[in-house]
């Protein structure tokens, strides 16, 4: 609340000359300029199907994938579209501005002249639908897992050997730090059992590529199992598959993520 009052700018106005704080969530103030690239946006859904709901005789739509299309205002001068697949823990928002409100990945590629698509995987983020049996949810990440795994591995009780070299996360990287909290608040639940998600992502992922044509996919962490499946399902539609810290490598996590049966 305190930071939001600041965001509203009343302190700055009453003080006259004081600079407006546009860091992090304060950038929501209309007084703050966006750091993002100039693009136009369209959204749509692909994939999925009607299934019976818990209300007799009525159906829900499930297994669909949310897609956002970002088109550079300055025009496209690159051959292949880029498809950014959500990391499974944050939704597709992870490719937009950073938690401390610096420019994100999507903007860099929009500025470089690419047609950019961002998706929320099926059953996750804006792809979510009420289908308890298919997408029984578990937590995405706890404060401790985020801290030890991503934002401050050097402070973990049992750090990996090179953790001391980690210096990329802005701020203290611990709960209570505004940048950490802005990241943690973006974390959404995961499906406890990926089987349905893998089946629906084969369909929805390839339905997207069938519409937009041969593309380059980007994934990070938990989303990489889905772009690998897309490469298996519709290989001719993937120009390249770029996998960042993919979850599907055969290495043991030092942290684990113990709530899921397949975590
Ligand atoms: C926002 O951009 C405008 C136009 O460039 C500039 O005059 C203004 O000072 C900027 N505001 C902030 C808070 O940086
Ligand atoms: C495309 O346009 C962007 C933005 O003007 C520029 O940075 C980039 O070098 C251009 N790339 C090609 C392949 O023309
Ligand atoms: C979680 O992190 C807090 C703060 O660093 C620490 O006090 C606590 O022991 C941790 N809990 C577990 C279960 O690791
Ligand atoms: C996951 O769901 C599939 C399909 O419903 C089921 O066959 C499988 O046993 C489930 N796996 C676990 C670990 O619950």
**pLDDT digit string, tens, across residues 77-113:** 999 999 999 877 899 999 999 999 999 999 999 999 9
Q: Supply the residue whose CA is at minimum distance from atom 7 of ligand 4.
A: 195
Question: What is the strand order of the sheet 59-72 is part of?
Answer: 39-52, 59-72, 116-120, 82-85, 215-220, 238-244
Q: Which atom of ligand 4 lies at the shortest distance from residue 134's CA?
A: 5
Q: What is d(CA 12, CA 21) in angstroms, rounded to the nearest whole number?
A: 9
Q: What is d(CA 249, CA 231) in angstroms, rounded to the nearest whole number?
A: 16
Q: Residue 263: is its pLDDT beyond 60?
A: no
Q: Is the CA virtual torsion 219, 93, 99, 105 positive or negative?
A: positive
Domain with CATH 3.40.50.1820 in the chain: 32-132+193-246
Q: If you average pLDDT over residues 201-226, what whole number do you get?
A: 96
Q: What is d(CA 135, CA 192) in angstroms, rounded to the nearest whole number?
A: 7
Q: If you average pLDDT over residues 146-175, what whole number do you get?
A: 92
CATH number given to 32-132+193-246: 3.40.50.1820
Using a 6 Å cutoff on CB, does residue 20 contact ligand 1? yes
Q: Which helix (H) or strand (E) holds 195?
A: helix 195-212
Residue 9 pLDDT: 39
> Is residue 79 within 8 Å of residue 71, measured between CB atoms?
no
Residue 247 pLDDT: 81
With tokens 């339905």, the residue in question is 207
Residue 87 pLDDT: 74
Q: What predicted TM-score, i.e. pTM, was given to this entire model?
A: 0.87
Q: Supply the residue whose CA is at minimum distance from atom 12 of ligand 2.
A: 77
Using a 6 Å cutoff on CB, does residue 245 contact ligand 4? no
Residue 135 pLDDT: 67
Q: How many CB atoms lie within 10 A of CB 6?
A: 17
Q: Residue 114: is its pLDDT beyond 50?
A: yes
Q: Is 221 noted as a catalytic residue in this protein?
A: yes
Using a 6 Å cutoff on CB, does residue 213 contact ligand 2? no
Using a 6 Å cutoff on CB, does residue 195 contact ligand 4? yes
Q: Which atom of ligand 2 lies at the shortest distance from residue 72's CA?
A: 4
> Is residue 187 within 8 Å of residue 137, measured between CB atoms?
no
């Amino acid at each position: 609340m305190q930071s939001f009052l600041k965001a509203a700018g009343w302190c700055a106005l009453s003080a006259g000359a004081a600079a407006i704080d546009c860091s992090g969530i304060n950038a929501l103030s209309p007084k703050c300029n966006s750091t993002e690239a100039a693009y136009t946006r369209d959204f749509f859904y692909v994939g999925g199907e009607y299934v019976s709901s818990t209300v007799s005789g009525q159906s829900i739509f499930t297994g669909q994938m949310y897609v956002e299309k970002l088109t550079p205002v300055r025009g496209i001068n690159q051959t292949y579209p880029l498809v950014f697949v959500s990391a499974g823990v944050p939704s597709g928002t992870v490719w937009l501005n950073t938690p401390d409100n610096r420019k994100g990945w999507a903007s860099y590629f929009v500025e470089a002249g690419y047609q950019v698509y961002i998706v929320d995987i099926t059953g996750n983020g804006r792809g979510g639908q009420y289908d308890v049996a298919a997408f029984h949810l578990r937590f995405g990440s706890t404060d401790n897992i985020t801290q030890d795994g991503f934002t401050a591995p050097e402070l973990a009780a049992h750090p990996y050997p090179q953790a001391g070299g980690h210096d990329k996360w802005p701020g203290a990287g611990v709960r209570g730090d505004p940048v950490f909290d802005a990241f943690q608040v973006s974390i959404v639940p995961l499906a406890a059992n990926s089987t349905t998600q893998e089946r629906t992502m084969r369909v929805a992922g390839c339905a997207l590529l069938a519409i937009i044509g041969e593309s380059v996919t980007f994934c990070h962490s938990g989303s990489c199992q889905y772009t690998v499946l897309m490469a298996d399902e519709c290989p001719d539609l993937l120009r390249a598959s770029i996998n960042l810290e993919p979850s599907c490598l055969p290495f043991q996590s030092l942290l684990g993520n113990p709530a899921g049966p397949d975590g």
